[in-house]
Amino acid sequence: MGGAQLERPSGARPGVCVRRSFRAHAGDQPRRPPGPIPVPGTMKQESAASNTPPASQSATPSAQFPRNDGDPQALWIFGYGSLVWRPDFAYSDSRVGFVRGYSRRFWQGDTFHRGSDKMPGRVVTLLEDHEGCTWGVAYQVQGEQVSEALKYLNVREAVLGGYDTKEVTFYPQDSPDQPLKALAYVATPQNPGYLGPAPEEAIATQILACRGFSGHNLEYLLRLADFMQLCGPQAQDEHLAAIVDAVGTMLPCFCPTEQALALV
């Protein structure tokens, strides 16, 4: 469930980054109703109406919904963080690809999904960067999926995460000459949860120490690193790689000794 499956083309040599076809599978379609993220273990099917945040909380998307040729009702949503592996909304199609002019940074604080008020975690946002390129997944929603996805993401991203919407141009890896307009959720420096730049070692320490209602902050980092690994050598994210390296260096300090585990 969640992110679509990356398929290794038949005949590809294992361990070699090859161009992959990225296909959503009907079985992947999430079943979670749109709306507030239920605390893990308490998920239940609720009517959309009961999930609608109070008017005072709802933050309507600021970007006009980007339209592409073809189905006027269709909308593409670009994910570059947790949306890469856990979109949790129904979609009709998905593509791996990238956006130009932005770099991804772990500069957004999170006190719900991967952190708490006392120990905010760090999640990603997009930074305008003329030479930047950020890889992720674009999901196509059509018909009723559009309002359901936007209602759900408004709560998950805007109300709970401090993100705002922005129109971006998405380049599918399989057809970069046919770019798509897409909606992205971006945490700007003006939002109260924004933490801004920090040394990668400090970010790694924060990630190692934090968890929230959606799980540990380390899971968030490693799932994103997994995705980037699957994208192949053409997809580089030095900021992400530096944080993963820093985590690897620090993990021994966080791991209990054999004596402590009484493994002897």
Ligand X SMILES: N[C@@H](CCC(=O)N[C@@H](CS)C(=O)NCC(=O)O)C(=O)O
Contacts of residue 39, defined as CB under 8 A and 6 or more positions apart, other chains included, come to: 213
Stretch that binds ligand X, among 55-63, 108-116, 175-183, 249-257 (CB under 6 A): 108-116
Query: Contact region for ligand X (CB under 6 A) — 51-59, 83-91, 94-102, 227-235?
Result: 83-91
220 phi, psi to nearest 5 deg: -60, -45
As a 3-state breakdown, the chain gives helix, strand, coil percent values, each rounded to 5, of: 30, 25, 45
Of 157, 201, 238, 258, which is the active-site residue? 157
Binding ligand X (rule: CB under 6 A), the pick from 81, 97, 120, 172 is 81
Is 157 considered catalytic here?
Answer: yes
Structure-block tokens of residue 192: 């109260």
- Does the footprint of ligand X cover residue 183 (CB under 6 A)? no
The gap between the terminal CA atoms of the chain, to the nearest Å, is: 40
Q: Tokens at residue 28, please?
A: 């992947």
Among 95, 113, 181, 211, binds ligand X (CB under 6 A): 113
CA dihedral angle for residue 235, residue 241, residue 243, residue 245, rounded to 10 degrees: 160
- Give the binding-site size for ligand X (rule: CB under 6 A): 19
Q: How many residues does the chain have?
A: 264
Residue 2 structure tokens:
């969640």
Minimum Å distance from CB 96 to ligand X?
14
82 part of the interface to ligand X, by CB under 6 A: yes
Stretch that binds ligand X, among 16-24, 43-51, 61-69, 82-90 (CB under 6 A): 82-90
Q: Which CB atom, from 157 or from 200, has the smaller least distance to ligand X?
A: 157
Name the one range near ligand X by CB under 6 A: 6-14, 61-69, 155-163, 242-250: 155-163
Binding of ligand X at residue 161 (CB under 6 A)?
Answer: yes
Q: How far apart are CA 177 and CA 117, in angstroms?
A: 44
9-12 long-range contacts, Cβ below 8 Å, gap at least 24? none
Q: How far apart are CA 238 and CA 82, in angstroms?
A: 18
Site string for ligand X, 25-64 (x = CB under 6 A): ----------------------------------------
Q: Which residues are catalytic?
A: 157
Residues of this chain that interact with ligand X (CB under 6 A) are 79-84, 86, 110, 113-114, 123-124, 156-157, 161, 163, 185, 214, 220
